[in-house]
Chains A and B, each alone.
Chain A
Amino acid sequence: MTNQKALDYITSGQAKGISPVMIRSSLIQAGWQPGDVDAAFTQIANFQASNQTPVINSATPSSISESDISESDYPITTLWIFKYPIIMVTVSLVAIIFGIWFPYFVIAIPYFLIANPLIRKNFHFALEKEYFAVKQGVLSKKQRNLPYGVIQNVLVKQDIFDRLFGIAALTVENASEAGGSGISKWFSKSQNQNSSADFIGSQGNKVSIPGLKKTDAEALKNAILVKMKENPLGDTQSGL
């Protein structure tokens, strides 16, 4: 036995994106019986389910394809593997021109050429329904699920190398304090503050995807922004 006024209130609230918990509590505060309110919710849910069946069917394929957005759609370019080797060779060559023999960088190049393809191959991300999922790690593995609602900001950065070759780094940050950064937390204090695009995957409070094509970085950013808009967090963290 429910009243049309309560039904109207609930539907208008839902249309405005207010959470059911809030609607329920404000109705109960206004003097409605909890049982009646729940009955009204069930009634509306039944009505919407019977009404929206075709809509849900047509939306299902698109939602599946959306959750398919992953590193295969926006791959890290092969150029990323050679980024630091190229920079090191260039710096060394410039140093030689100025008469300084500076071979230390060059020693590190084989490491990059072996490690980077492995890192790239083992790095996966996916825009899942509720989480931005990242899997990474060659020897030690790490998985991270970042809820869209807690994303604090999205950064697109290009350093000079990136600018010259038309690539960009995308960084997504939440407010967690060094989530799972482990030992690197002690070594990368300055790097963290500089928020450089050096690292790949999740470290500290960020997930970084370097070496994307500029257009891919923009497209992925927009896809994440859409997800953030679709998945607001009920509880706000803002202090304002």
Chain B
Amino acid sequence: MDVTQSPTREKYPLSTRKILKKTLGYSVMWVIALSFVMVPVSIFLSEASVSWIVPILISITVVALAVFLTYLYELWYFKVYFYDLTPDFIVIRKGPITPREITIPYERVQDVYVDQDILDRFFGLYDVHLSSATISSGMAAHIDGVVKEHADGLKGELLQTVSAKIAKTRGIAPTSAPTPTPIAGV
């Protein structure tokens, strides 16, 4: 799969297991949602003296279709997922249909953390979150679905760049100031 859009994604690629994880997560939701529809339909059909196999077949078909479409969507999502650590800014863009791109200056990063939800633990995936002081950055600025090695790499690189940038804007002197040589008459 050719998805190397940025140097950062090439260096710390998303795991393809992310597609499976997201598909599984949404499939569970689909099964729950569809069961609300299919259980009454099945009862209705069984009262209309149709063989019991018909509602089961319908349910399986509908769920299979939903899962397949979810998989295609997640594949697409995976392909257009863009993140790049440029020299001055962090750029994250996601969403194939309604794209959302966030650009954060390193100086404004408040927090870098790595977490896993329960499905992430099954699949061995990690989410790298970084946020500025705004609500929308908390929602938009994360890179999820990388393996441990790359999560640590991303985290390390982010923290390193952030502290380097801050040291620069804070004006911490790179070398110690020269001591004055005694000048006659002072």
A residues bordering B, Cβ < 8 Å? 1, 3, 5-6, 8-9, 13, 16-19, 21-23, 26-27, 29-33, 36, 151-160, 162-163, 171, 173-175, 192-193, 195, 205-206, 221, 225, 228-229, 232-240
Contacts and interface: CB of A to CB of B under 8 A. Distances in A.
Interface string B122-142: 000000000011111101110
A174 B135 CA distance: 10
Contacts, number: 151
Interface residues of B, number: 47
Contacts of A33: 180, 186
Interface of B: 88-89, 97-105, 107-112, 132-137, 139-141, 159, 162-163, 166, 168-181, 183, 185-186
Contacts of B111: 239-240
B98 A31 contact: no
A9 B177 contact: yes
A153 B177 contact: no
B171 to A, nearest CB: 3
Contacts of B140: 155
B110 A238 contact: yes
A237 B133 contact: yes
B163 A16 contact: no
Smallest CB-CB A-B distances: 5 pairs:
A22-B171, A175-B133, A30-B177, A152-B132, A195-B136
Given A1-B183, A163-B97, A13 B173 contact: yes
Contacts of A157: 98-101
